[in-house]
Amino acid sequence: MITLTQVTKVYQGARRPALHQVTATIEKGEFVFVVGEAGSGKSTLLKLVLKEVRPTLGTVTVNGRNLESLPRWKEPHFRRSIGYVPQRPLLIARHTVYENVAHALRVIGKTEAVCRRVVPEILELVGLGMKENRYPHELSAGEQQRVAVARSFANRPLVILADEPSSAVDPDTTIELMRLMDRINRTGTTLMVASTDAKLVSAMRRRVLEFEEGSLIRDQVRGVWRP
């Protein structure tokens, strides 16, 4: 599904690589935590998979396609085929929960009839079936993050990338959020979750890729993390 081969990323003007000779393969349907201290390269890894940044050296392959060979005009379509959950949910404030999720479907050309069928299903899945007419400011931080997850999952992507999705929510909400991710993972969706939450990572017992100053220092099945 996702293969990184000897990937090095040096940002312009940086003194050291953000990622250094990283090689890893993530199979379809896996749930992988990407862990490490701040600045260790987690976000850079996710951005490479989205082709938001390009490797300085090495190759990134997603779904059998070397991203270097993906033409620029196909990049927006490619990105929309991947679900992305940012650290803080970027919801549209003047849109309801329903509209926020429907928006993700409209931009890929889905009809209103499809939205009316699919959006309630997804909101039910994330536990927000009763709140489809609420506005973002009427939701808790955890609920807002669940809307962001619903939106990332709306077009049933093969992969969802989440960048520290629990950084702005309390521990109970974090557990809830991870249960939700787990449910989505069970549908066959591959998940890559960057996290600095050692307790959470250790409790979930999923594959752990640990980074230190840009190097992959551990790749462990059912891993824990003690920074």
Ligand X SMILES: Nc1ncnc2c1ncn2[C@@H]1O[C@H](COP(=O)(O)OP(=O)(O)OP(=O)(O)O)[C@@H](O)[C@H]1O
Footprint of ligand X (CB under 6 A): 11, 14, 18, 36, 38-44, 196
Cα separation, 10 vs 51, whole angstroms: 15
Q: How far is the CB of 39 from ligand X (least distance, A)?
A: 4
Least Å distance, CB 12 to ligand X, is 7
User: Which residue's CB is nearer to ligand X, number 184 or number 194?
Assistant: 194
Which residue's CB is nearer to ligand X, number 132 or number 210?
210
Cβ-based nearer residue to ligand X, 36 or 89: 36
The residue (of 167 and 173) whose beta carbon lies closer to ligand X is: 167
For the chain, counts of helices (H) and of strands (E):
7, 10
- Helices 141-153 and 171-186: angle between axes, nearest 10 degrees: 10
In angstroms, the CA 60 to CA 9 distance is: 11
Sheet containing 82-85, strands listed edge to edge, beginning at the edge strand earlier in sequence: 82-85, 159-163, 190-195, 31-35, 207-212, 215-220
CB of 107 to ligand X, least distance (A): 26
**Smallest distance from ligand X to CB 153, Å:** 22
Minimum distance, C-beta of residue 44 to ligand X, in the bound complex (Å): 3
- Phi/psi of residue 102, nearest 5 degrees: -60, -35
- Nearer Cβ to ligand X (7/139): 7
Three-state DSSP state, 167? coil
Are the C-beta atoms of residues 8 and 19 closer than 8 Å to each other?
A: yes
